[in-house]
């Protein structure tokens, strides 16, 4: 119970259980002490009382504070109490709905991830058919160029044209491989690897890709377990991410960090499957970042924010396709002006019973 000004006049065991105060501690205090500082600044406590007085009832849901300073999600109902036409106070009921709220958020995230996965799968099926057809056409073109070259070896101008056409065909072949990677139509050759060794062997390649104005560094975990992965495709995936980060930081420059760690988590689109162990490879930059709308479309083939001729829009698609075909997934986190973090989750190679390392971290 509250008086007309919002001062607490009575307390019950439910209030003590949810908020942590005994009746001696809380009776006589203003009920606004349960509100977050930002809600107090906005005048939420008084707005609730005024709405209850003028409208006959106030109902809302929001974050509230316990005695120990932790937050919980509360469903609040405030009813005015009138006597002989005079407002003598309020009856206020608070329910802790934190578990329900968090479950709703998890469900919404899973539904969003599933919808995105289904969209990419549909695009992938279309892409796979186009890539195979395009590859067949390229095969005919390349073979024909080879035959023409054999018959015109003395004509310098013709050879120049043939070489230009072959370079274009090679570029088309690369695009086809990237399309197949996104559509999960490439043939992988996974082998057991120590992920840190795999990255270290290609360190110079990544550094050269960054350019002189960008600092490149490793942050490799000592307890990252081994995994089965196609080394060439893995290197291509990390290189694509490094190149994207580089472009996002030009011309100002900045830092690109490649980090490894182990984690236990659930695939976003399949929360009912339960946790499993993954090796996570993160590529982090402090570049311009992306809006939420751009981030949602970033994995679509041919989608790019770069100028015409500056990128094919297939680099990130290759990364997502490689991770999915390897049994993993990719999470992308980015905000405008806050840089971008791309995390490739690859299934860890299970150790024999009793050999699991300690000190695992959990990531959702």
Instruction: Tell whether the model's pLDDT for residue 162 goes beyond 90.
Output: no
**DSSP string of 268-303?**
TT-GGG--EEEEEEEEEE-S----HHHHHHTTSTT-
pLDDT band at 335 (very low <50, low <70, confident <90, very high): confident
136-145, 151-160, 348-357: least confidently modelled range: 348-357
Residue 116, pLDDT score: 66
**What's the CA gap between 274 and 249, in Å, rounded?**
37
Residue 250, pLDDT score: 80
Has residue 3 been placed in a domain? Answer: no
Domain end point (choices 40, 69, 96): 96
Sheet-wide strand order for 71-83: 58-65, 71-83, 86-96
Residue 189, pLDDT score: 78
pLDDT band at 178 (very low <50, low <70, confident <90, very high): low
Instruction: Tell whether the model's pLDDT for residue 233 goes beyond 70.
Output: yes
Residues 157 and 201 in one domain: no
Supply the CATH number for residue 267's domain. 3.30.565.10
Residues 198 and 296 in one domain: yes
Residues 149 and 205 in one domain: no
Cα dihedral: 242, 247, 250, 253 (round 10): -10
**What's the CA gap between 307 and 76, in Å, rounded?**
51
Residues 207 and 316 in one domain: yes
Has residue 333 been placed in a domain? Answer: yes
Give the best-scoring range by mean pLDDT among 34-38, 121-125, 184-188, 297-301: 34-38
13-17, 84-88, 136-140: least confidently modelled range: 136-140
Residue 313, pLDDT score: 53
Percent of the chain with pLDDT over 90: 37
Q: What is the pLDDT of residues 95-125, one digit of tens each?
A: 999 999 988 888 887 777 777 667 666 666 6
Residues 211 and 300 in one domain: yes
- What is the extent of the structural domain holding 223? 191-362
Has residue 244 been placed in a domain? Answer: yes
Domain end point (choices 153, 182, 211): 182
Residues 208 and 356 in one domain: yes
> Structural domain tally of the chain?
3
Residues 92 and 18 in one domain: yes
Residues 136 and 174 in one domain: yes
Domain end point (choices 51, 77, 96): 96
Cα dihedral: 234, 236, 241, 243 (round 10): 160
Taking CA 306 as the corner, what is the angle to CA 303 and CA 308, rounded to the nearest 5 degrees? 90
Residue 182, pLDDT score: 59
**What's the CA gap between 236 and 183, in Å, rounded?**
16
Q: What is the pLDDT of residues 282-322, one digit of tens each?
A: 999 988 888 888 877 776 665 666 554 455 455 677 788 88
Which residues face 341 on adjacent strands?
Answer: 284, 333
Residues 302 and 357 in one domain: yes
Mean pLDDT, the chain, rounded, equals 82
Q: What is the pLDDT of residues 41-74, one digit of tens each?
A: 999 999 999 999 999 999 999 999 999 999 999 9
Residues 259 and 147 in one domain: no
pLDDT band at 355 (very low <50, low <70, confident <90, very high): very low
Under 8 Å between Cβ of 59 and 77: yes
Residues 205 and 346 in one domain: yes
Nearest to 5, CA basis, from 30, 27, 36, 39: 30
Residue 259, pLDDT score: 94
Range 320-336 average pLDDT: 87
């Amino acid at each position: 119970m509250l008086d007309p000004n919002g001062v607490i006049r009575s307390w019950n065991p439910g209030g003590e259980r949810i908020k942590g105060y005994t009746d001696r501690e809380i009776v006589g205090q203003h009920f606004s002490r349960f509100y977050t500082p930002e809600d107090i600044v906005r005048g939420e406590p008084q707005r609730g009382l005024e709405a209850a007085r003028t409208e006959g009832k106030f109902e809302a849901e929001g974050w509230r504070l316990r005695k120990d300073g932790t937050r919980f999600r509360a469903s609040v109902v405030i009813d005015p109490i009138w006597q002989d036409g005079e407002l003598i106070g309020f009856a206020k009921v608070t329910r802790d709905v934190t578990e329900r709220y968090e479950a709703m958020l998890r469900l919404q995230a899973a539904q969003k991830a599933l919808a995105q996965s289904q969209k990419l799968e549909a695009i992938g099926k279309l892409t796979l058919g186009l890539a195979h057809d395009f590859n067949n056409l390229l095969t005919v073109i390349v073979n024909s160029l080879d035959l023409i070259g054999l018959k015109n070896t003395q004509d310098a101008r013709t050879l120049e044209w043939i070489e230009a056409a072959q370079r274009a065909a090679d570029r088309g072949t690369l695009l086809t491989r990237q399309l197949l990677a996104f559509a999960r139509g490439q043939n992988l050759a996974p082998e057991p690897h120590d992920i840190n060794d795999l990255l270290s062997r290609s360190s110079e390649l990544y550094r050269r890709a960054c350019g002189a104005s960008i600092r490149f560094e490793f942050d490799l975990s000592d307890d990252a377990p081994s995994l089965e992965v196609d080394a060439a495709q893995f290197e291509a995936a990390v290189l694509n991410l490094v190149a994207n980060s580089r472009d996002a930081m030009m011309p100002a420059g900045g830092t690109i960090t490649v980090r490894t760690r182990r984690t236990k988590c659930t695939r976003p689109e399949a929360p009912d499957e339960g946790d499993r162990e993954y090796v996570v490879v993160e590529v982090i930059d402090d570049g311009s970042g992306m809006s939420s709308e751009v981030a949602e479309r970033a994995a679509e083939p041919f989608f790019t924010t770069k100028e015409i001729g500056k990128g094919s829009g297939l680099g990130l698609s290759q990364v997502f396709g490689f991770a999915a075909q390897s049994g993993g997934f990719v999470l992308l986190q980015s905000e405008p002006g806050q840089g971008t973090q791309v995390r490739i989750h690859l299934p860890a190679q299970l150790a024999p019973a009793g050999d699991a390392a300690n000190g695992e971290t959990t990531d959702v």
